Amino acid sequence: MDLSDLAFFSAVARCGSISKAAQQLNTVQSNVTMRIKLMEERLGTPLFNRHSRGVSVTNAGQRLLPYAEQIAALVADATRAACDDGTARGPLPIGAMETTAAVRLPPVLAKFHAQYPDVELDITTGPTATLLEKVLDHSLSGAFVAAPVAHPELVATPVFREELVLAMAKSWPDIASYRQANRTLTVVVFRSGCSYRQRLEQYVSSQGWLPVRRLEFGTVEGILGCVAANVGISLLPRAAITRSAIGKSVRIEAIPQREAMVDTVFVQRRDAYAGAAMRAFMASCADAAETGN
Amino acid sequence: MDLSDLAFFSAVARCGSISKAAQQLNTVQSNVTMRIKLMEERLGTPLFNRHSRGVSVTNAGQRLLPYAEQIAALVADATRAACDDGTARGPLPIGAMETTAAVRLPPVLAKFHAQYPDVELDITTGPTATLLEKVLDHSLSGAFVAAPVAHPELVATPVFREELVLAMAKSWPDIASYRQANRTLTVVVFRSGCSYRQRLEQYVSSQGWLPVRRLEFGTVEGILGCVAANVGISLLPRAAITRSAIGKSVRIEAIPQREAMVDTVFVQRRDAYAGAAMRAFMASCADAAETGN
DNA sequence: TAATAGACATCGTTTTTACAGATAGTCAGT
DNA sequence: ACTGACTATCTGTAAAAACGATGTCTATTA
């Protein structure tokens, strides 16, 4: 069994079709057919059921599939490990929550890039759940997400600590009045999956502020804009508000410490190879965590 | 990078020589040279330093080596997993301590073989330490060794419990006399690495029986023969003595419970794929552990 | 029911890659 | 300088992979 065989197999399994896999692999269908056939002969067991609308993986294929993926990931790691001569360079795909990317990362990235110009940083923002998935499937080398993270395949290092505060327009009425009047409260939140959103909803319901109307946004600036425009209230890291230009025109109201404090951790796959670029990046983060926190 | 590339690389690294690796891989030297060269080109980093007496791995090679081995092991696992159609068959290399192999295994193996004739059992005996190494490097699928086993990559299942007893010739003088006379005691033991041997030496020294002369043997029968011939005393599982033909002509003396009881566990690699043959074998063991213990 | 479209299998040809063998170059020890 | 043990390179051959065209099967559709 060959590495390209495994790649062919994975592609066919993913696509559920030999023809589609051939396209994706930049080759012709007969080729893929042959390779799969050979593979099946060598293994002595069929990997796919053929039918008129494509193929479906057999039980044997199901058993093979996770291995194929793990092996591919390991080989990728191996090449990285071998090429890694100790100088930080090459691509470094990192994920971050929107707020972290907006508030904490800019100074870190600026310094890091100045120090290691050969590292091609690629920051992807998204909610915690999405980021974790991407780290797990190797499409991100690491990510900044909200604690706690408990997954056997991940390791988390605390980096930042945020105080979540309520943000509302200066002219926003006293919150207590909503409760008394049982008026509908509009909360401006990040898209589903964001852990800050969960905090806010939890807090809102603990305060008995239902019913609630939600407005979703993908960026800090978007949310703050809405808040400033008197659309609703939100829950954001204090730093995200104070450091934003619009932040000056919103009112901040603290919530109880126990519900306000949230740690931002940097997660990586436990088994992934941390190359020089990665190690340097983590060192920079640790630096930032100590000084700027 | 190809799987056979990794095999070539591993072989060269192991042999420290391209020529020797070529022999081992059943191919010619030029071939290996070329493959390694291509590999180095593709990786962009040299993997070996060439000198007149062979090659030595570079730092990059050192980093790659563990991956190469892990990937090879994974691929082997993957093929097993794919081929495994639920019927137990194929090779099943198992390790066992000498005493376990002599006393506990025969009935288990007999029954297992009757039930699963297509499994090619291959029992290797050796001391615990050696067996654990072999399980770790994938040359054994599992092994019966003395508890406790604490290794992150291994899982251990208790199977048998043995009572270790002192064995000596019928005419052997009272042990206390040795201590009083400060005479040299001869102990007949398994070769180094056996955990029963450790127990015996520990017990002997705890009793203040030094000085001691050691005689090493590799088999239960050999040890019992010596013991019966009045050469010395030994520490063995009670069952190993009572079930042996020579056992009738030796005297058994119990030692305190706390030092006598030892568990035999079955260890496997945590990450290895347990095929149908393996699962069936473990079921048989569990059976034997329940009924015959 | 016959035509059709989409999907996999098969076959012959071409291109690429791997292999074996022979030869040349390199370095340490004598 | 010679020798022995290695590795690098070159070359023709053999094997394997890729390609493109064609065949076959089946579910869908007119």
What average pLDDT does this structure show over B195-201? 81
From the Cβ of B31, is strand C under 7 Å away?
A: yes
Higher pLDDT, A293 or A169: A169
Higher pLDDT, B218 or B100: B100
Higher pLDDT, B70 or A289: B70
CB within 8 Å: B2 and A1: no
- Provide the pLDDT confidence category of residue B280 given band limits of 50, 70 and 90: very high
**Per-residue pLDDT tens digits for A92-117:** 999 999 888 888 888 899 999 999 99
- Provide the pLDDT confidence category of residue B178 given band limits of 50, 70 and 90: low
Specify whether the CB–CB gap between A233 and A189 falls below 8 A. no
Residues 6+ apart with CB under 8 A from B222: none
From the Cβ of A31, is strand D under 7 Å away?
A: yes
Query: At CA B103, angle to CA B101 and CA B107, rounded to 5?
Result: 90
Q: Which single residue is written with the structure tokens 């964001």?
A: A194
Chain B residue set in contact with A, beta carbons under 8 Å: 1-4, 6, 43-45, 47, 59-61, 63-64, 67-68, 70-71, 74-75, 77-79, 81-85
Straight-line distance from the first to the last Cα atom of chain A, in angstroms, rounded to the nearest whole number: 51
What average pLDDT does this structure show over B13-33? 93
Q: Which nucleotides of D are covered by protein (CB under 7 A)?
A: 4-11, 17-21, 25-27
**Per-residue pLDDT tens digits for A218-277:** 788 888 888 888 888 888 888 888 888 777 888 888 888 888 898 999 999 998 999 999
Mean pLDDT of chain B: 88
pLDDT at B180: 63
* Residue B66: Cβ within 10 Å count: 11
How many angstroms is C1' of D16 away from CA of B111? 47
Chain A residue set in contact with B, beta carbons under 8 Å: 1-4, 6, 43-45, 47, 59-61, 63-64, 67-68, 70-71, 74-75, 77-79, 81-85
B88: closest CA of chain A, how far (Å): 15
What average pLDDT does this structure show over A163-169? 87
Range A206-245 burial, b when 16+ CB lie within 10 A, else e: eeebeebeeeebeebbbbbbbbbeebbbbbbbbbbbeebe
**Per-residue pLDDT tens digits for A42-91:** 999 999 999 988 899 999 999 999 999 999 999 999 999 998 888 899 89
Would residue B286 be called left, alpha or beta, if left means φ above 0 and alpha means ψ between -120 and 50 degrees?
alpha
Q: Is the pLDDT of residue A147 over 70?
A: yes
- Provide the pLDDT confidence category of residue A182 given band limits of 50, 70 and 90: low
pLDDT at B149: 92
**Half-sphere exposure for B275 (CA within 13 Å, toward CB):** 23
- Cα A4 to Cα A72: distance, rounded to the nearest angstrom: 10
Residues of B in contact with A2 (CB under 8 A): 2-4
- Cα A282 to Cα A260: distance, rounded to the nearest angstrom: 26
Residues of A in contact with B81 (CB under 8 A): 63-64, 67
CA max distance for chain B: 74
What average pLDDT does this structure show over B213-224? 83
DSSP letters, A158-202, are EEEEEEEEEEEETTPPPHHHHHHHTPPEEEEEESTT-HHHHHHHH
- Cα A190 to Cα A99: distance, rounded to the nearest angstrom: 10
Please tell me which residue lies nearest to nucleotide D17, judged from CA to C1': A31
Q: Is the pLDDT of residue A169 over 60?
A: yes
- Provide the pLDDT confidence category of residue A181 given band limits of 50, 70 and 90: low
- Provide the pLDDT confidence category of residue A180 given band limits of 50, 70 and 90: low
CB nearest to B81's CB, from A4, A63, A85: A63
Answering whether pTM is above 0.85, one says no
pLDDT at A198: 80
**Residues facing A190 on adjacent strands:** A217
- Cα B208 to Cα B179: distance, rounded to the nearest angstrom: 7
